[in-house]
Amino acid sequence: MTNTGSVLGRPVDRVDGPIKVAGRARYAIDVTLPNMVYGALVQSTIAAGRISRIDAARALSAPGVLTVISHDNAPRLEAGPMSVLGPPPPPPFQDDRVLHHGQHVAFVVAETPLQAAAAARLVEIEYEISDAVVTLEDPRATVEPNPFVPDQNRGDVARGLQHADVAVDVTYRTAPETHNPIGLFATVAAWDDDALTVYDTTQFPTNIQAVLAAAFGVPSDQVRVLAPYIGGAFGSGLRFWPHVTLTALGARMVGRPVKLVLTRGQMFTSIGYRPPTVQRVKLGAARDGALVAVDHESLEPLPKEDFFAEPVTASTAKLYACPNVSVRDRQARLNVAVPSWMRAPGEAQGAVGLECALDELAYELHLDPIELRLRNFAHTHPGNGLPWSTNALRECYEEGARRFGWSRRSFEPRSMRQGSQLVGLGMATGSLPYYQMPCEVRASIDRTGQAYVGSAGTDIGPGTYTIMAQVAADVLGLPMDAIRVELGDTRTPPAPQQGGSGLAAALSSATFLACRELLQTVLNAASADSRSPLCETTAAGRQPRAYSPDDVRASNGHIALAHDGTRHDTYVEILQRSGRPAFVALGKSAPQQDSNTADGVFSAKFAEVHVDPDLGRIRVTRILSVIDAGRILNPKTATSQIVGAAVGGIGMALLEETLSDPGTGRIANATFGDYLIAVNADVPDVDVLFVGQPDPANPLGVKGVGEIGLVGIAPAIANAVFHATGRRIRSVPITLDQLL
């Protein structure tokens, strides 16, 4: 099928932009229902122990209070099912135990938000306090393998390190970070007999539906979850969170809709965070720079009784050609809140350890950091020997070095200056796995010539609404303004989570297939209609000839035969003659696994920093991200994703750190005044370059761009700081006091 007006690959403006800037996009926090009341959370002030007494009398007698729910009066709730992200958290309020500071221990429902918040402060709680284990350094912490991220080993690492000409053995640390979207998370729940409707800030509506259905013992089709607009989330909306259950429970107990809006402080304790890591990296190389051994072990926290898994060391096993490799992810059970996946989870932290260690190795070898990586480029997957489906990492290095002006970089640290400022140039590699989950999209077209595509997936900002409209317009040959896109409603076909840079591939593929099927349905109707110019009988004159989408050209609502453009029809006329109000089709996409190839998303990151030698102040002056992410459906929204990820990388490298009291686990900087986030003054112009080819893993050749833009930014900046100052800082964020 040829579409002469293709919009795929063009920098199309966001279709949801106008309603957002006009304030018409309805987020969960904007939802107001008739007779609605409000919830407020009461959180634990200890990190470990038991609740010995809850006295809610004062709260219950406060103005407007309808109920106070705790483990004393909460009903038995069932655990939700396993999802692709793992098991959900245990249902709240099922016993008296406290496992971390900030755990929800009571829920107040009142007529107004202020009444609920005031009453929450009146709930009196007494505890039996136990010793808490809240830091990775605590020797009492139980360390165990990550059961969802298996160890990977090949060759003999110990022997390789022993016989290496040059070796480094270094430990790097990454700090905990909090997602901190500007918009506060909110949930609104309303019951109608046994039917539950929930508006939530979530990246995974179908998972919210499944967990709530299990918790309250109702069929899943009796639970409707709506999340058409999310705002920022960065992974904090991926998991199911206990406050959603509490909002639905409160609504059921008072018989009225309940709305809960988390406070900024609760955003630090209730929706996860990027966990800290301690990483030991051992590298061994021959004198010519060829890696002979790589050993990478990571340690991160795990809550006492919950699940969390991310692959900190996984990319290390596949990124470079090396015969002897061992990677291991370890977790320490602590009295901490459950972490969550934060943009480029695992890979972002793992890149700090690996890519900074490689920079150290390059200096030990007196070899250019890019040359070291080129000499160890993996032409095939180093673990299984399979060829890459696509891999333009060499092009990322070479085009990036040319565009960034890397050849002007002198090798020795502290050798480049601009005025009084020390100048440093650094680089790092970024890698992510490619993945695609099953996904469904419903497509239709009505008698006005307006098309519709809908799915339960969400859009947290990467431009999902827009690329769905682009794909539909491209296949159907319609203008963009003739496409209506619906997202974030579990009454539409199911979709996976928006996270891990996988939804673009899944949803665009399903949209493509749904619209192809819709076009086929239209062609079938036209072929069977003798009044249609597209109807053509066979030589026998009995059976109409069937056309496929590949046999026609669709443009501006017209469908013409590819071999005879004079024979054409329109969607509107075909529908009117059929007597039907609309044609409808369903598209289902699934991973197209090729056991004969390996896949991945790759990038090279380049950073320039200026450092004040007297004050230690670091300023990032240039960033270049060169990305191999397959086919780029919309360069404008894709570039925006890479730029946004670079901002997050600057924060990771220089600013962001969630600080907790080492004795109690209480977060000490849970405000925007104390938690430092990169702002305009911290961010230079970010240059973005896309390279590579479409990947055959899905019909449109998409790999995904949302997270690869962050991986490698922090180590590139850290390596640039070393080049500028000669000081190797082995923890991020790098702060000025570390350089003084």
In tens, the pLDDT along 594-607 reads 788 999 999 999 99
Look-up: residue for tokens 């998409």? 702
Helix (H) or strand (E) holding 188: strand 186-192
Strands 601-611, 421-432: pairing kind: antiparallel
Whole-number average pLDDT of the chain: 95
Look-up: residue for tokens 């539409």? 492
Q: What would the mean pLDDT of 221-230 be, rounded to a whole number?
A: 97
Q: What is the pLDDT of residues 442-464, one digit of tens each?
A: 999 999 999 999 999 999 989 99
Nearest alpha-carbon partner for 654 in 83, 145, 69, 175: 175
Q: What would the mean pLDDT of 673-698 be, rounded to a whole number?
A: 95
The C-alpha atoms of residue 557 and residue 476 are separated, in whole angstroms, by: 8
Look-up: residue for tokens 């709240």? 92
- Could you give the domains of the chain? 17-24+436-589 (3.30.365.10), 31-132+189-231+237-262 (3.90.1170.50), 277-435+595-739 (3.30.365.10)
HSE of 187, CA atoms in CB hemisphere, 13 A: 31
Residue 510, helix vs strand vs coil: helix
Nearest alpha-carbon partner for 445 in 495, 516, 494, 507: 516
Q: What is the pLDDT of residues 81-129, one digit of tens each?
A: 999 999 989 999 999 999 999 999 999 999 999 999 999 999 999 999 9
Task: Give the type of residue at 544.
Answer: P
Output DSSP code: residue 86.
B
Greatest Cα pair distance in the chain = 91
HSE of 731, CA atoms in CB hemisphere, 13 A: 13
Residues in the chain: 740
Q: What is the pLDDT of residues 399-422, one digit of tens each?
A: 999 999 999 999 999 999 999 999
Helix (H) or strand (E) holding 611: strand 601-611
The answer to whether 654 and 735 are in contact (CB under 8 A) is: yes
Residues with catalytic annotation?
Answer: 707
Residue 697: is its pLDDT beyond 90? no
Cite the DSSP H helix spans in 235-280. 242-254, 264-270
Question: CA-CA distances (angstroms) from residue 106 to 96, 109, 304, 325, 338?
Answer: 11, 10, 20, 49, 19
pLDDT at 2: 42
Q: Which residues pair with 101 in a beta bridge?
A: none
Residue 691: is its pLDDT beyond 90? yes
